[in-house]
Structure 1
């Protein structure tokens, strides 16, 4: 369940340093993506790519956004629409957008991606450079603050780790 965090006052001081780095850099990257600011986006996603487990957390955010935006589930047409919308939205200001990486992100968030089946799986840095694009695009549909989804994704990762 998502909390109702205020995006302006949300701080991540309560998180351990590695998680705080993910939260801060992901917030910077998603903010830059929403503003279509390539100058701010590039350094933010490079910092995000260096943060261990950022892809896991952002994958959780993508899954939560997809679940909220498609409460009855997604079919192939829905996935294609999400992918096409994200590429169309990002390409004018971020020409390095790679539809294959976005598709891997979507499939991973839906739990249907097996890297062993992919001849050329994207590396974690590519995932980190693309996840904020997808998150920003999906946030436009929900209209809710990124901090809510990020907090819920961190909670989910913590619960999973606790039970493993």
Structure 2
């Protein structure tokens, strides 16, 4: 399944993320709610770092010539109209957070809201790109692993 050399938490994040994405893509609301609950139980910052890495990669692939405001707005609109509901504030926070743009004065979404919005955005980007999540999860966790093992000069 997931690489055995990954720490247990990384494997749990990968599994819960894949489960949540599968439920979101299948419009299975009970399974989605259970999967988000499992994600909420994991270390929040680690989960969001994995999800942000996946989002950035997908956005770069979908917009190789650069990402415009209209592109982000299109993602927001598709996600806001989707069958799995995420709060608009959380969708904005997820999208801007993945792009490294944050407003310290913006209202903070609760972890469950933020993670729900993150999965909704990821499911949309994966469907738009017509790809499965596994390779993106692997690369996002692998990038974190690489960053943590590189020695600082």
The answer (yes or no) to whether the contact 1:61–1:149 under 8 Å persists in 2 is: yes
Q: Does 1:117 align with 2:110?
A: no
Could you say which residue in structure 2 is the equivalent of 1:77? 70
**1:13 CA drift (Å):** 4.5
Output the CA distance in 1 between the equivalents of 2:131 and 2:23: 16
Which of 2, 6, 16 pairs up with 1:12?
A: 2
The residue correspondences of 1:2-151 to structure 2 (distance < 5 A) are: 11-14=1-4, 15-52=6-43, 53-90=46-83, 94-95=84-85, 97-114=86-103, 116-118=104-106, 120-151=107-138
Q: Which digits, 9 at most, give the CA deviation of each residue in 1:39-87, with x for residues without a partner?
A: 1000100101111111111111111111111111211111111100111
Aligned residue pair count: 148
Could you say which residue in structure 2 is the equivalent of 1:7? none
The answer (yes or no) to whether the contact 1:86–1:137 under 8 Å persists in 2 is: yes
Output the CA distance in 2 between the equivalents of 1:124 and 1:156: 23
The TM-score, its normalising length taken from structure 2, stands at 0.90
Output the CA distance in 1 between the equivalents of 2:118 and 2:139: 16
Root mean square deviation, CA, Å: 1.5
The answer (yes or no) to whether the contact 1:49–1:129 under 8 Å persists in 2 is: no
Runs of 4+ in 1 over 3 A off after TM superposition: none
Output the CA distance in 2 between the equivalents of 1:112 and 1:89: 24
Q: Which digits, 9 at most, give the CA deviation of each residue in 1:109-152, with x for residues without a partner?
A: 111124x232x112333222221111111011111220011111
Unaligned 5+ runs, structure 1: 1-10
Output the CA distance in 2 between the equivalents of 1:104 and 1:131: 9
The 3-state SS of whatever aligns with 1:117 is coil
